[in-house]
Amino acid sequence: MLISTDSTWRWKLGAAADPLSSGVYERFWTRAVQYLTGTLDLSKVKFAPLPDRIAPREPFAASLRVFDEDFSPAKSGETRLSVVWTKPDGKSEEVAARETSAGVYAVELTGLEPGTHRLRASARLRGRLWGSDEKRFVWEQSLDAPMDRAWLSKAAELGGGGFFDLSRTKAFEVLARLPPPQPEAEAVRRLHPFSSPAWLALCGLLLLCEWAWRRRSGHV
């Protein structure tokens, strides 16, 4: 490793001129770090990690990678991939794997039933058995019951409104059905008497009249 740190940088410089070795530098150091950390996986056929909780919707999609001898993406013309899906009731069937990019395949499942499912992939490269991988996952139906559109539409009509499915209706279509705004009160003019000089003069005049009345009555 100490010797490699001073020499492998030349691979990076030469990768620009040779597209076949453009990923050698990254793959070398990725595998080296994985080896040192104990996470190196030398499987040539590998499913992508699945989430802990599977969303209850269809189709369910899984991703699979196939590598060649150099851990480069295996060519589709040299690869024969077989994926078997085992359902919770124990019945198995082969499903198609669609190549999405070099060495990467996608598997989509429909008609899933609640329970534990198993996917097993086996690959042959140039006619030789190359490797296999297996994944298990638990699929559960959604606990939320689907909405009754007919009942909701009828209830909205009785209330003088309407039912809209926001996933299928555009926002401006819903806003266009709203009645125009009607002002309930309109301020024509605002008066502030306590900040007016006339109000101050009136207060002073009233105080003067009170003083004169008290003086005339003998209270002052």
Using one digit for the tens of pLDDT, what is the confidence trace for 35-44? 676 666 668 8
What domain count does the chain have?
A: 3
60 and 130 within one domain: yes
Residue 187 lies in a domain: no
Residues 6+ apart with CB under 8 A from 64: 45, 46, 47, 48, 81, 83, 97, 104, 105, 106, 107, 121, 133
Residues 69, 150: one domain?
Answer: no
Let me know if residue 121 belongs to a domain. yes
Q: Indicate if 25 and 73 belong to the same structural domain.
A: no
25 located within any domain: yes
Average pLDDT of the chain to the nearest whole number: 80
Domain membership of residue 163 as a residue range: 145-176
Identify whether residues 49 and 33 lie together within a single domain.
Answer: no
117-127 tens-digit pLDDT = 999 999 999 99
Evaluate whether residue 85 is within a structural domain: yes
Q: Based on the fold, state whether residues 77 and 163 are members of the same structural domain.
A: no
Statement to judge: residues 49 and 135 lie in one domain: yes
Q: Within a domain: residue 198?
A: no
Judgement on whether residues 89 and 127 belong to the same structural domain of the protein = yes
Instruction: Give the model confidence (pLDDT) of 47-90 as tens digits.
Output: 988 876 677 778 889 999 999 888 788 998 899 999 999 999 99
CATH number of residue 92's parent domain: 2.60.40.10
Q: Is the pLDDT of residue 220 over 70?
A: no
The verdict on residue 22 lying in a domain is: yes
- Residue 50 falls within a domain, yes or no? yes
